[in-house]
Structure 1
Amino acid sequence: MLVEKNVSLQGWNTFGIAARARMLVRIRSVADLQQVLAHEALRRQPMFVLGGGSNIVLTGDVRALVLKVEIKGLRLAGETDRAWIVEAGAGEVWHEVVARTLAQGWPGLENLALIPGTVGAAPVQNIGAYGVELQDRFHSLSAVDLVSGQPFELDAAQCGFGYRDSVFKHRAPQLAGGEGKALSGRVLGMGLAGRALITHVRFLLPKAWRPELGYLELERKRSETGIAHPTAQQVFEWVCAIRRAKLPDPAVVGNAGSFFKNPTVTPEQCRDIIARDPKVVHYPMPDGRFKLAAGWLIDACGWKGKTVGKAGVYDRQALVLVNRGTPEDSVTGGEVMTLARAIQTSVYERFGIRLEPEPVVV
């Protein structure tokens, strides 16, 4: 086990924010993590789990011990009459796993192509795009309790998936006598933020595959190409083309993807907004509420293309905040959050809606 000190994190967060880790350990196996947790001094340190850095805003140097997850591997873990069960290491690049599962003849993840980040972060965020969320293709995951060192597994119900949400984004309240004890069902039900490190994720990929084409942009692709019944590979290519046309590549322009969640409103709220702004982009949800396009709301407030300090709003998609600095003179996390708060204020003042950021602010 090698403990690296004073490590630059600029290349390990997709915003390209210059920050450093006081101490960092690369986790390439469960055994690596067990070594850390068995170390008398290290296990007492506050810990911060880092995957691909695609969903974080660093507002300063990280004082906690950074656990850089680099667990690899992709395999067929099992199958049923209806589905393949495919397991991937948490440190695998998400988009590469999507491409590799398709190449192996295991479709189902194609709508989630080109989402930045690693496999381990996917269930934390319950990533989703173009009508598919991770929970729709999720089987189970393996993780390790960072307090007790005990491994455990969770199924979909135990993960508490919601819109860009899971049990991994919530902290359990302090339980009497619970510090240092193994996770109980009671703790699992209340929150695992800062308490667990995901090591492997398993997907349930349907053998009776059918394309998910409910989004307007995919329907437009089907119309443009004249392909009425696309293959999974064709859907994958359509999704990649759509995303590349409107979203910046983090390798070229620093960003954390969609910065705000699409807000949900009641039918009454939606009617009120439509009465004032008939062009507002909205989608009905199964529970009767409506989802509003956060990017449209931000654009309507005039933010697209604007810059505050070295933080800017992408000129093709107002939902994405970008780094307008250079590697030598990068945007700071403070500038990003100043811009984010200004956008939140504008949207609330015009529409009465509070936008919620997606990235974790560190």
Structure 2
Amino acid sequence: MLVQSNVSLRHLNTFGLDADARYFINVTSVDELTAILRDPEWKGTPKFILGGGSNILLTQDIEALVIHPDIRGITVIGETEETVVLAVGAGEVWHDFVMHCVDNGYGGVENLSLIPGTVGAAPMQNIGAYGVEIKSVIGSVEAVNIESGEKRIFSNAECEFGYRESIFKKALKHQYVITGATFRLSKKPVLNAAYGDVQKTLQEMGAENPTIRDISEAIMQIRRSKLPDPAEIGNAGSFFKNPEIPVAQFAQLRETFPEVPGYPIDAETVKVPAGWLIERAGWKGYREGEIGVHARQALVLVNYGGGTGAQIKALSEKIQASVAGQFGIRLNAEVNFI
């Protein structure tokens, strides 16, 4: 295993920000990961885990040993006539894994097509899109304790999944390296096409009896029409979470803004689209030097090239203050600030 010094992380964050790792190592197996964590030479050095960098904002260099888990593999470990269980390495590209499932007729993740990042980052964030969250298909998560090097298997319940949350972002933050996960998928999938955009796109495609491949293709078309490709414009997708507010607060908001959209979560809570709030506050298409808010999707902050993480962080704080001032709603970042 080779530990490198002063390594640029530009290629490992989708914002394309130029920050350096004081030390960097790429690990391709659980054994390699355990070895570096238990190595006396590195025992006292702070550790930072970096996967595909699709949900982080690097605001500074990282004075730590940056560990990149590049553990691959997709293996069938259980199967019946109706379901299949796959064990997947943390280093697998998430979208490649989704396409593997679609190609094999395994349903359950097709609504999560084209989400950037790796399989290892997916449970940490409980990624979700178009009516599906990863918690609905995860069986377990394998992780290694950074301090002890011990491996642990977390059940779905033990992951404490919430809206873009998990135990790995809360109580166990910075304590574990996710090395893989198992997924329980369906060979006889029930399609989720409830979102209006998905239904409309399927109709335009002429998919009268849609398959999981049709769902995947429709969602890829939608995402490409709304979201910039990180390979072309640096971004991390949705920068803010959609706020969830009490029903009474939403009713008051509608008195002033009758057109505000809202989606009931339960009898007491309504989800309000953060993109709508940001656009209504006048930020859509805003540009400040080499950074800005995307012209087609107000929920996406972008680096046009040469911007810094500190600049993007400052812009996000301006947007938060603006939305809070106009609507009385505090936006919380979905992106993790480093």
Deviations 1:92-118 (A, max 9, x none): 100000001111221211100000000
Does the 8 A contact of 2:85 with 2:184 survive in 1? yes
Q: Name which of 245, 248, 254 aligns with 2:234.
A: 254
Counterparts of 1:1-362 in structure 2, within 5 Å, are 1-80=1-80, 82-170=82-170, 191-325=171-305, 330-362=306-338
Deviations 1:242-297 (A, max 9, x none): 00001000011000110000000111111111111122121111354111000000
CA distance in 1, matches of 2:261, 2:42: 49
CA distance in 1, matches of 2:330, 2:13: 26
Deviations 1:146-193 (A, max 9, x none): 1111101011100000000000001xxxxxxxxxxxxxxxxxxxx211
CA distance in 2, matches of 1:106, 1:160: 25
Q: Return the offset for 1:300.
A: 0.1
Does the 8 A contact of 1:75 with 1:88 survive in 2? yes
Does the 8 A contact of 1:82 with 1:206 survive in 2? yes
Tell me the secondary structure at the aligned position of residue 257 of structure 1.
coil
CA distance in 2, matches of 1:284, 1:207: 31
Does the 8 A contact of 1:310 with 1:335 survive in 2? no
Deviations 1:291-336 (A, max 9, x none): 10000000000000102232200000000000022xxxx2111100
CA distance in 2, matches of 1:225, 1:27: 42
TM-score w.r.t. length of structure 1: 0.91
1:102 alignment partner AA: V
Could you list the runs of 4 or more consecutive aligned residues of structure 1 that deviate by over 6 angstroms after TM superposition? none
Tell me the secondary structure at the aligned position of residue 95 of structure 2.
helix
CA distance in 2, matches of 1:311, 1:94: 27
Does the 8 A contact of 2:246 with 2:269 survive in 1? yes
Does the 8 A contact of 2:20 with 2:61 survive in 1? yes
Does the 8 A contact of 2:5 with 2:21 survive in 1? yes
CA distance in 1, matches of 2:256, 2:206: 37
CA distance in 1, matches of 2:24, 2:103: 35
2:67 alignment partner AA: L
Q: Return the offset for 1:64.
A: 1.3
CA distance in 2, matches of 1:129, 1:287: 22
Tell me the secondary structure at the aligned position of residue 227 of structure 1.
coil
Percent identity, aligned pairs only, is 46
2:313 alignment partner AA: M
* Number of equivalenced pairs: 338
CA distance in 1, matches of 2:162, 2:309: 27
CA distance in 1, matches of 2:282, 2:216: 33
Tell me the secondary structure at the aligned position of residue 44 of structure 1.
coil
Does the 8 A contact of 2:234 with 2:303 survive in 1? yes
Range with greater deviation from structure 2 (202-211 or 254-263): 202-211
CA distance in 1, matches of 2:250, 2:261: 10
Unaligned 5+ segments in structure 1 are 171-190
Range with greater deviation from structure 2 (105-114 or 159-168): 105-114
Aligned equivalent of 1:185: none
CA distance in 2, matches of 1:128, 1:193: 20
Q: Return the offset for 1:202.
A: 0.9
Deviations 1:119-168 (A, max 9, x none): 00000000000000000111111111111111010111000000000000
Q: Return the offset for 1:80.
A: 4.0
CA distance in 2, matches of 1:43, 1:229: 56
Range with greater deviation from structure 2 (314-323 or 81-90): 81-90
CA distance in 2, matches of 1:169, 1:239: 27
2:120 alignment partner AA: G
TM-score w.r.t. length of structure 2: 0.97
Deviations 1:15-58 (A, max 9, x none): 01111000011111011111102211212211110000000101
CA distance in 2, matches of 1:354, 1:320: 17
**Closer/same/farther in 2, CA of residues 108 and 70 from structure 1, 3 Å limit:** same
Q: Return the offset for 1:81.
A: 5.1
Tell me the secondary structure at the aligned position of residue 200 of structure 2.
helix
